[in-house]
Structure 1
Amino acid sequence: MNGLRSRYDVLIAGGGIVGCYVAYFLKQRNPGTEVAIVEPDPTYEYASTVHASGGARRLFSCPENIEMSNFSIDRIKNFAEEMAVDGNPAPIDWVEQGYLFIVTGSNALRMLEENADVQRSLGADIRMLDRQGLKQLLPSMHVDDLDGAAYSPKDGWCDPNSFLQGVRKKCKALGVEFIKDRVGGFTWSSGRINGAALASGTSLAADHFVNAAGAWSAQVSAMAGMYLPVSPLRRFEHYFTGQRQIEPLPYVKDLNRLAFRSEGQGFSGGLVNSDEPRGFNFEVDHHYFDEVVWPALAHRFPTAFEGVKCHRTWSGLYEQCELDGNPIIGNWTGNHENFYVATGFSGHGMMHAPAAGRGIAELIDKGRFESIDLSRLGYERVIRQAPYPERGIL
């Protein structure tokens, strides 16, 4: 155990990007707050963030997600300066090359247009494209079976590992303690969690507890008697090259969950299988790219991907919210009210971590959301079994 204290103001289970941002904003609000993060694997071998694609976009339908993206993307763009330590910047290689959602069918197109109205009302630069507009933007794309697209030119992607390591290093510089251990249980009385038992046998007390354990968050909450509809969902990311050079791509995404983007001299992306059995499975299926991803790529960009070479495939976990695919951000109102969760991002955790971390810090400090009202993403909807899903966006 690295920490020397037996009691903290806030104890966070999970040292990934979400947990680190909770700690960061707690320290920003009150530098004297004693914050500890319990993380069993500081190498982050199985952490979701380091296996992510790095994308950050405003193409959502729920206003909360759009507003979180607005905030988070601004922080990502200014990350190198904000997270500098001792004058040393923290670059994360932001690439502002846009996002493109492509759809087939009048109903899907109408849904994109309605979503775009909401996005624009919240300040996003969204451009609707027809087939001709798509062909002008991406001459190599096969568009005959498409009815349109939403293009968000100010979105993009960054290096997720540098993102995580940068905020983690900043947290350490601000005095956040990182404890290499695993939460093994909680104790409570009078409606409040009062202690966490660690796997090492150590017990830590705190005034507030945060579950930011990602794909493991359901197990952590269960120790406090709290049910979370969050499951680990394996997904693959691939780095591949085509047989011919084509124009630089934005992050291209369709409703079948094909999603890929330019990456150096090649491309990075994949196609998520929503029916993948849930569980902590990190095995790589080396046939998946040829059997599932490549046909979709070759159909959409035949010139480039009729011949394609996959150089690397890796697996990671989504913390899939089985209720509605949206994150659960808030405390356990009416029960252990000093127990907070920030989880279930379903593939959007990296891009929304800054905003979610700030939201939890506001709840802990002031008992309410002060910047973005995330109440509809709170745990109450789980209790009520009242889904609040995105419209046509995965």
Structure 2
Amino acid sequence: MVSKVVIVGGGVIGSAIAYFLRASDATVEVTVLERDPTYARASSALSAASIRQQFSTALSVQMSLYGIEFLRTIGERLAVEGNTPSIDLHEGGYLFLATPASEAILSENHALQTSLGAQIEYLPREALQAKFPWLHTGDLVAGTHGLSGEGWFDGYGLVQALRKKAQALGARFLATDATGVVRSGRRVQQVRTAAGDTLACDVMVNAAGPWARPIAQMLGIELPVFARRRSVFNVSSPAQLAACPLVVDPSGVYFRPEGKTYICGTSPSADHDPDDLPLDEVDYALFDDVIWPTLAHRVPQFEALRIEHAWSGYYEYNVLDQNAIIGYHPELENCVFANGFSGHGLQQGPATGRGVAELILHGRYESLDLSPLGFARVLEGRPLVERNVV
């Protein structure tokens, strides 16, 4: 029987796990170690905070279908003493665009998504041009557009709402970091903290986001998850784009409205994407060389752009297959990993929190089987490849 759980990392994943544990079983003592309660450098607060069902793997689609259900009902789920949280959810949809080279993948993904219940429409070029007349479609053949269940929200607000609800349910959050473990054979017995505490545990959870790798190394485990910097740019433009969704260009450049402005970004090329770059160094060259020319090509009105603000956050990037690693490690009986979400953590946080809580409390997944994301595929070199990484 599990009575004490220590979670390392109090971002969206760690806070969601804490919430679901306490909501499911109030007898379990839950302690969350979060070294920065301001979340100033947390991926949860620095990301573009979006949710979509347009993935290429069934499990990712299913996780985000539950994610949107959770976000839509966050007010009733996470209210504390009559105070109802709001995350300003805007279901503006995603629009993935395809050239002839990527049309087959777009079509395959669309068939998978709709078979699982996602409301995604397939738009041939003529329909795409009619629906989004501001879009340059000359080099496109089609696009897929989310009619509901996709959009963007306040990521920082979600983390705070999960944290406050977990605390209201009895979870304890400590502003410190894990510095070591006491391990006996196949079990972790205690977690040591930078504050000098030694916390006994029946289960330890690694939910440390971009900093999960050194936590795993304390356990003698090699985790293929690295901190990869992603820069986000807030730009102003005289462009008037009616009913603008979050648009993903075939190049990987994305943009979406943010009030009267727009935010945009892209992943750098593999040879310009090292680990652990400092967050205070925004990649302006990426904007000048890649993002702006792409935006101006795809939306001619974007030839006139001005950066208003820019920042960087980390992806906890799983180099094996850009999918999360969730579950117990075969060599450790009582250590759960929830890492490597590669930019999908906010939207997959609710499903992960629910699933990990079920695994800890019941020894199995009961709502949605997350076992394909388990550690076994890492050890066997068997990637579960996600083709729609944004």
**Aligning the two structures, in what range does the TM-score lie when normalised by the shorter sequence?**
over 0.9
- Listed as ranges, the matches of 1:336-375 within 5 Å are 336-375=332-371
2:262 to 267, 271, 286: 267
Aligned residues: 385
- Listed as ranges, the matches of 1:45-194 within 5 Å are 45-106=40-101, 108-154=102-148, 155-194=150-189
Partner in structure 2 of residue 4 of structure 1: none
| Kept after mapping to 2: 8 A contact 1:61/1:393 | no
1:275-325 deviation digits (Å, cap 9, x = unpaired) = 21111421223443233211111010012x111111000000000000011
Is 1:246 paired with 2:241? yes
Partner in structure 2 of residue 291 of structure 1: 289
| Separation of aligned partners in 1, 2:388 and 2:153 | 25
Partner in structure 1 of residue 324 of structure 2: 327
Deviation of 1:246 after TM superposition, in Å, equals: 2.1
Relative distance call for 1:324 and 1:255 in structure 2 (3 A) is farther
For 1:353, give the aligned amino acid: G
| Kept after mapping to 2: 8 A contact 1:239/1:313 | yes
| Separation of aligned partners in 2, 1:322 and 1:115 | 22
| Separation of aligned partners in 1, 2:251 and 2:104 | 17
| Separation of aligned partners in 2, 1:338 and 1:392 | 33
2:278 to 256, 276, 281: 281
Query: TM-score scaled to structure 1, two decimals?
Result: 0.95
Relative distance call for 1:245 and 1:197 in structure 2 (3 A) is same
| Kept after mapping to 1: 8 A contact 2:231/2:312 | yes
Deviation of 1:248 after TM superposition, in Å, equals: 3.0
Deviation of 1:55 after TM superposition, in Å, equals: 0.6
Structure 2 regions of 5+ residues with no counterpart? none
Deviation of 1:392 after TM superposition, in Å, equals: 4.9
Deviation of 1:161 after TM superposition, in Å, equals: 0.9
| Kept after mapping to 2: 8 A contact 1:111/1:392 | no
Q: 2:202 is paired with a residue of what secondary structure?
A: strand
| Separation of aligned partners in 1, 2:99 and 2:228 | 27
1:34-86 deviation digits (Å, cap 9, x = unpaired) = 10100111111110010111110000111110100000111011112211111
Deviation of 1:274 after TM superposition, in Å, equals: 4.2
Partner in structure 1 of residue 376 of structure 2: 380
Structure 1 regions of 5+ residues with no counterpart? 1-6
Relative distance call for 1:255 and 1:193 in structure 2 (3 A) is farther
For 2:108, give the aligned amino acid: E
Q: 1:170 is paired with a residue of what secondary structure?
A: helix
- Listed as ranges, the matches of 1:22-33 within 5 Å are 22-33=17-28
| Kept after mapping to 1: 8 A contact 2:54/2:388 | no
Query: TM-score scaled to structure 2, two decimals?
Result: 0.96
| Kept after mapping to 1: 8 A contact 2:322/2:389 | no
Q: 2:254 is paired with a residue of what secondary structure?
A: strand
For 1:61, give the aligned amino acid: S
2:9 to 10, 14, 23: 14
Instruction: Please tell me the root mean square deviation across aligned C-alpha atoms, in Å.
Output: 1.4
